[in-house]
Amino acid sequence: MSSVRSPDRFLMLSHRASALVFYMLALALLVLDLWTKALATAHLNYAEPVVLTRFFNLTLLHNTGAAFSFLSTAGGWQHWLFGGIASIISVVLVVWIYRAPATAILLKFALALILAGALGNLWDRVTLGYVVDFIQWHYKGYYWPAFNIADSAISVGAVAMMIDSFRSPPGG
């Protein structure tokens, strides 16, 4: 009689149980994102960098646009556009996580990260009218646009999806 290793037990989860694990991951990341944004809002002065290292600041900024402040000065209609897109994407991701095979662990991980990020930034857009950004990398006067945990989750999720696409055989 062979013993079942822990990863094998995870692979034997039903679609519903497997989906629940990744929904919980998305929820945990969403809570972390909203908590860190609340901390940044409460403890940082707007647009005043708090220098932590030679290449890393905490800088509270409000982004009314999309990634890299795309369309941030468009006049307000972009708020509804990005909110609508994030809502549709979130619904699609919830269904995709549920329907993906329990064995598609990397894919479900990626989708959960993207879902958490989409919901975190959607929450900001709906409740505040802008996305709270506060993480800022820089090097010798070159500054990467400020971002947040949600943006990081989306980026890591996208990379994980690309890795998964190269690992998975087509159609399976």
SS3 sequence, 34-76?
HHHHHHHHHHCCECCCEECCCCEEEEEEEECCCHHHCCCCCCC
- At residue 134, the 3 state secondary structure works out as strand
Q: What's the CA angle centered on 20, arms 171 and 87, to 5 degrees?
A: 75
Catalytic annotation, residues: 133, 151
**How far is 46 from 59, CA to CA, in rounded Å?**
7
